[in-house]
Structure 1
Amino acid sequence: MKQTPFSAKHIAAGAKMAGFAGFNMPISYTGINDEHAAVRNNAGVFDVSHMGEFIFKGEGALDLIQRVTTNDASKLAGGKIQYSCLTNENGGIIDDLLIYCIEYNKVYMLVVNASNIDKDWDWISHHNTGNVEMHNISDKTCLLAIQGPNAAKILQPLTELDILNLKYYNFIKGKFAGIDNVLISATGYTGAGGVEIYFEDKDNNADIVWDTLFETGAPLGLKPIGLGARDTLRLEMGYCLYGNDIDDFTTPLEAGLGWITKFTKPFMASAYLQKQKAAGVDKKLVGFEMTDKGIPRHDYRIKDAEGNLIGRVTSGTQSPTLGRAIGMGYVTTEFAGIDSEIYIEVRDKLLKAKVSKLPFVQQQS
């Protein structure tokens, strides 16, 4: 099992560790609910160094990105970020990802899911028909997500860069905690505000940044956070988790990602998805709240009042913020309307739920 540059720090801090996407990752430290509340109300640090990062260079870099991703990356100027996805020929989602414009039409960074690094690299490489210079820097990149409403305030003393006024889906580069060439982006997958920081894994950088973060932040309540709370936080926002809510057999239109599917330019499966949009989808990813007592789990069956199968749960949990059970899942289109009554099959019992508007919890800035 692979280790991140921070694995020893997690173990020393008493984290419960488990395998995730081939990496030994912290699941929780003091408990998921406690860590969840810390991020929603103050700030927490996630080690997400298992994620993948690709650098594309050359005059054809933008053209390659345009061909393999669904969003319109031509809209990106230097210092801007975009959420997008890769699709196969049948419109299925190979991965969801972030695109960073380092230099317009010349240098870009793609950030992909840990479980899909090799798959994504092979797919894009296969479609690199030009001379785009590609570098997989995943193994030498540290990535920490410092999330929460007070994250920027806690981090600002560690850099001369203006983190406090960094706008959502923008990034800056410079010195942080005494380390050069750190990329700081106003992104994250919690909906609680905050930033993510990327830096090279060399010269003891990981230890320096981690120790400095907590020397500065611990007196202000900054806590290390595991993947358990990351999952409950993202689910409260209705954010998709690859492998659960989206995969190679679900399309962006079915997953509610039509807003990152732009038909202003051709891309892989654009013709297929245009036809699907015109015809209408047969199933949709929806959020729902349990009416009856019970917690929905991945792959539980969704049925109608007569017991007919209408879909399946993709993600579910007891929301720490709301104090009630929530979930997401695909249902046939006729049951996708807000307040539609659906039933989750839990241990041979049909428990009532209703389709809810996403997000379950409002995003914090």
Structure 2
Amino acid sequence: MTENYTALYDEHKKLGASFTDFGGWQMPLKYSSELAEHHAVRKSAGLFDLSHMGEVWVTGPDAAAFLDYALVGKLSAIAEGKAKYSLICEEDGGIIDDLIVYRRPSEVEGAGKFLVVPNAGNAKTVAAELAERAAGFDVTVQDASAETSLIAVQGPKAESILLRLVPADSHELVTGLKYYAAVEVPFAFDGGASDGGTRPLLLARTGYTGEDGFEIFVSNDDAPALWQAILAVAEEGELTPAGLASRDSLRLEAGMPLYGNELSRDGDPFAAGLGAVVSLAKESDFVGRAALEAKKAEGAGTTTGRRLVGLKGLGRRAGRSHYPVLKDGTVVGEVTSGQPSPTLGYPIALAYVDVEQAELGTALDVDLRGKPEPFEVIALPFYKRQK
């Protein structure tokens, strides 16, 4: 597999990161202790490189109508400055990717402007799918992934840390930013502007950790300087660089699906508990509509098939991806993600189980290499932050 390196690769090396391949990218797995990085995000703040994610701009007079056709949600309903979680599906309803769509103010009157952010391993696929589906629409699809970096600051202290890089007269842009919204904010950081001034960057209040936090879109050229500046303004012990290992344990505690684990082309939104993301009420047609209407009518994820559930371990051993889920010794499902929860202190897992076994409180076992371990179906998310 081709190895790609983000603009922050050298920064990670300086910090002693251990690397892993993820979606064809060499990404930091951890810097020292994945548990310490996990706890840092829950208690203070963590700094993540998300530059392996994709960034695809969709602009033009038909941009909103096009995204309503290309994706399963009603993207035309997004207000400027807001964002929406959505899915891009195949004609048969299989999930190509889950993604976030940001609606931005357009510089051209009468035109729409949207930023679509797909997952790392699917970025090129999503960009190609969007370009193909754009036929017949007055839109431009521009894949800006190769020149764009994405830096995230996640945790209770994320806002206070970032405010130190923002001029006082612009603080309200940050403090007033709502969840799943984005705004251009002037940031002051060495290298960000040759005259020592500020550089406007797109700041989104989004994340994948279950904590309050932000994601910052920045050019590759400016990414190292911004990364260094964020670390520099943080007080000792306040901000910890965090890798993919802690990102995975954080998102699992928050009950958030990972493409390739909980989501795939073989699955469907209803089984994954994402039926609300599918807008069958919108009048326009969209790719996969007929198949998804049929799946809903059949009761997919509700009365037929399997449903994604949360499992709480009643013992000490954790279930892992692909481990069978049992009911009275009979296989009724499969774990998609699982590990001990650093925050909660017991094993947790996401699993697809037969809908008959998906009710809260259902006692199940996970086959841990021949030994059944007791688990219980519980509500998601496993962890919810105190607001």
- Normalising by structure 1, report the TM-score: 0.96
1:222 aligns with 2:222: no
Aligned residue for 1:325?
Answer: 347
Aligned residue for 1:134?
Answer: 141
Aligned residue for 1:275?
Answer: 294
Shift of 1:364: 4.8
Shift of 1:139: 0.8
Say which of 280, 286, 302 aligns to 2:325: 302
1:200 aligns with 2:235: no
- Normalising by structure 2, report the TM-score: 0.91
Shift of 1:275: 2.1
Q: Is the 8 A contact 2:365 2:375 kept in 1?
A: yes
CA deviation profile, 1:4-61 (whole Å, cap 9, x unmatched) = 1111111110111111111111111121111111000111100000000000110111
Aligned residue for 1:170?
Answer: 181
Shift of 1:293: 2.9
Q: Is the 8 A contact 2:67 2:76 kept in 1?
A: no
Shift of 1:124: 1.5
Q: Is the 8 A contact 2:82 2:102 kept in 1?
A: yes
Q: CA RMSD in A?
A: 1.3
Shift of 1:261: 1.1
Amino acid at match of 1:151: A
Task: Report the 3-state secondary structure (helix = DSSP H, G, I; strand = E; otherwise coil) of the residue aligned with 1:197.
Answer: strand
Shift of 1:220: 5.7
Aligned residue for 2:196?
Answer: none
Say which of 314, 319, 322 aligns to 1:291: 314
Shift of 1:181: 3.1
Task: Using the TM superposition, name which of 158-167 and 347-356 deviates more.
Answer: 158-167
Structure 2 unmatched runs, 5+: 193-198
Amino acid at match of 1:109: L
Q: Is the 8 A contact 2:174 2:185 kept in 1?
A: no
Shift of 1:228: 0.4
Amino acid at match of 2:56: F
Q: How does 1:76-225 map to 2 (within 5 A)?
A: 76-103=78-105, 106-129=112-135, 130-160=137-167, 161=170, 162-178=173-189, 179=192, 180-202=199-221, 205-219=222-236, 221-225=238-242
Aligned residue for 1:3?
Answer: 5
Say which of 341, 354, 357 aligns to 1:335: 357
Please give the alpha-carbon distance, in whole angstroms, between the structure 2 residues aligned to 1:157 and 1:166. Answer: 16
Q: Is the 8 A contact 1:48 1:144 kept in 2?
A: yes
Task: Report the 3-state secondary structure (helix = DSSP H, G, I; strand = E; otherwise coil) of the residue aligned with 1:315.
Answer: strand
* Identical amino acids, percent of aligned pairs: 35
Please give the alpha-carbon distance, in whole angstroms, between the structure 2 residues aligned to 1:335 and 1:2. Answer: 42
Q: Work out the number of aligned pairs and report it.
A: 362
Task: Report the 3-state secondary structure (helix = DSSP H, G, I; strand = E; otherwise coil) of the residue aligned with 1:52.
Answer: coil
Please give the alpha-carbon distance, in whole angstroms, between the structure 1 residues aligned to 2:185 and 2:360. Answer: 45
Please give the alpha-carbon distance, in whole angstroms, between the structure 1 residues aligned to 2:249 and 2:43. Answer: 14
Say which of 245, 264, 273 aligns to 1:256: 273
Task: Report the 3-state secondary structure (helix = DSSP H, G, I; strand = E; otherwise coil) of the residue aligned with 1:163.
Answer: helix
Shift of 1:218: 4.0
Q: Is the 8 A contact 1:87 1:269 kept in 2?
A: yes
CA deviation profile, 1:222-266 (whole Å, cap 9, x unmatched) = 110011000000000110000011010111111001121111223
Structure 1 unmatched runs, 5+: none
